Each structure stands twice: as structure tokens, then as C-alpha cells.
Amino acid sequence: RVNRNDFLNALAEVHPAFGVSEEELEQVIQNGIIHFDPIVDEILRSGQLFVEQVRTSTRTPLVSVLLHGPPGSGKTALAASIASASQYPFIKLISPDSMVGFSESQKVTAINKVFADSYKSPLSVIVVDNLERLLEWTPIGPRFSNAVLQALLVLFARRPPKGRRLLVLTTSSLRPVLTEIGLSEVFDSELRVPPISNLVSLEFVLREVELFQSSEERRHAVRMLEDAGFALTAKEEDSSKMHIGIKKLLSTIEMARQEPDNVAQRLMGGLMGLGM
């Protein structure tokens, strides 16, 4: 017979993992999501559909999705937002940042544990962040951790126990590498996270973060960039495009903010220096 104490013990067992992951997730999304392009909403909406699919479909107890795009395009923040919005009882982030100094086998153990823990919850979402770093991928050689790869191949394919459902959200900046090492077929779906590629999006971000005192100043800065050859509405594939991840753009903006005089020049210098 299960009594109240068993119940409380069970809660105590489950709660710390949940608490910790919430903190982790909050940290990742603390800067918020700026809706600088319709694609941002599309990605969040797709994520929401996967969340609903796992919640309601009995045929797909395991769904894995790859979010890929250039460095700093916002993959981690978007995956974390989707995970956090799911309101599933088990949400966990597997991040190479939390495994610094781990041996290969320690990593495998830690990854296995997160999946094993998820199997105890009826609904779980696991964010496997920065796959190539988790795999210790180096282009020289090329080299990577085969032990971690083998563990992930098994876990990504394993159906959770009966009555349990799991959504896996993985992020990577090196989509081609995943094909090379045989890791791309394991995903049920892929979402591409693009960089910012035109001035309309850039201006949207500038407005959102209130870098300039007035809209005149902001427009002046945008005009400077237009004069420098960047197009207002270019798509990513156009030649007049810019190419900058939201992460780099936000840090460039924060640097420009440190020097209130000549914010526009600072911003411009920062953006040009980033080779968009």
C-alpha cells in the first residue's frame, strides 16, 4: 500500500531535478526572444506542435527534433523556450557547459541518467544542446567521442517505456557533420534557425532593445548601413544580405551602448568587424 510518506518521498525525489532544470532553462532564455522575423514565430509554432503531438498521440511516444543553424543564431534559446512552454513535468537540459572536465565515460553516464530519469515521468522534454561539442567534435582528424556518439544513437532511437512520452530537442551548428557521422537520420524532423539577413529585422531588434534615444537616431543608423550596401529586405540567399546571429548582434549592441556618443558608428563598426 502506498501511503502519504511514500508519496512525499517520491515528490522529493523528483523535485530537485525539475527545480534545477528550470533554473538552467531560465538562464538560457533570460534575454527573451525577439520576434525580428516571421520565421521566429514559425519555429516556435512548430515546436509547439511537436509538444502537442507527444502529449496527445499514442503512436509517437518519442519525437526528436533537430534545431540547426549558424553559430549564435538562437538555437539554444529557441529550444529552451519550446521546452519551457511545454509545461511538461520533466524538463531537462543536457549541455556541454555543465560537463566541462568530464571524462568520456562520465559524460555517457550523465547523459544516460537524464534519459533514465525522463522515463519515470509520463511526459518529458530533453534539450540536448550543442551536439557537436557534446561529441567533442574536432575537424582536425576528424575526431569525436565515439562513446558519446554510440550512447546518443541508442538513446535517440529507444522508445520510452509504456505510458511514457518523450520529446528530444537537439541543437547543432554543424548540420553537415551530423550526416557524416550517421547522426542525422535519427531525427524525426528538422528546424532551421537562420541568422538575421536584412535591415528590417535588424531595425526591429534595435527598436526592441532601445539602443537609441529616438526613432530618428535609429533610422539614421539604419540608413548608414543601407548606404554601406546592406539591403532592407534581402533574403538570406541574396548577395546584399547581411549575416549575423542574434546572439552576436545583441552583444554588439551592448558594446555600442557602453559609449553613448556615436552609438551609430559603434554599432556600424561592430557589425562590419563581424564580417556580415
The smaller minimum CB distance to ligand ATP, of residues 44 and 232, is found at: 44
Where do contacts with Mg ion occur on this chain (CB under 5 A)? 76
Where do contacts with ligand ATP occur on this chain (CB under 6 A)? 29, 31-34, 36, 40, 71-78, 130, 171, 173, 246-247, 250
Rounded to 5°, angle at Cα 108 from 10 and 160: 50
Q: Nearest distance from residue 218's CB to ligand ATP, in Å?
A: 18
The smaller minimum CB distance to ligand ATP, of residues 219 and 247, is found at: 247
Could you say which of Mg ion, ligand ATP, none residue 21 binds, taking C-beta under 5 to 8 angstroms by partner kind? Answer: none
Q: Nearest distance from residue 39's CB to ligand ATP, in Å?
A: 9
CB 241 within 8 A of CB 234: yes
Q: Nearest distance from residue 134's CB to Mg ion, in Å?
A: 11
The smaller minimum CB distance to Mg ion, of residues 34 and 263, is found at: 34
Query: Would you give the DSSP letter of residue 66?
Result: E
160 CB contacts (<8 Å, ≥6 apart)? 61, 62, 118, 119, 124, 166
- Output the DSSP codes for 205-222: HHHHHT-SSSHHHHHHHH
CA dist 149 and 145 (Å) reads: 6
Query: Would you give the DSSP letter of residue 129?
Result: -
Q: Nearest distance from residue 126's CB to ligand ATP, in Å?
A: 16
The smaller minimum CB distance to ligand ATP, of residues 160 and 195, is found at: 195
Which stretch of DSSP H or E encloses residue 17? helix 4-28
Q: What is the dihedral of CA 114, 116, 117, 122, to 10 degrees?
A: 120
Query: Would you give the DSSP letter of residue 143?
Result: B
Cell 533514465, located at residue:
116
The smaller minimum CB distance to Mg ion, of residues 74 and 270, is found at: 74
Could you say which of Mg ion, ligand ATP, none residue 246 binds, taking C-beta under 5 to 8 angstroms by partner kind? Answer: ligand ATP
Which residue minimizes CB distance to ligand ATP? 74
Could you say which of ligand ATP, Mg ion, none residue 19 binds, taking C-beta under 5 to 8 angstroms by partner kind? Answer: none
Could you say which of ligand ATP, Mg ion, none residue 71 binds, taking C-beta under 5 to 8 angstroms by partner kind? Answer: ligand ATP
CA dist 89 and 79 (Å) reads: 17
The smaller minimum CB distance to ligand ATP, of residues 47 and 160, is found at: 47
Q: Nearest distance from residue 41's CB to ligand ATP, in Å?
A: 9
CB 87 within 8 A of CB 80: no
Q: Nearest distance from residue 184's CB to ligand ATP, in Å?
A: 18
Q: Nearest distance from residue 2's CB to ligand ATP, in Å?
A: 42
Residue (of 80, 86, 62, 106) closest to 24 by Cα position: 80
- Amino acid code (one letter) for 140: I
The smaller minimum CB distance to ligand ATP, of residues 29 and 62, is found at: 29
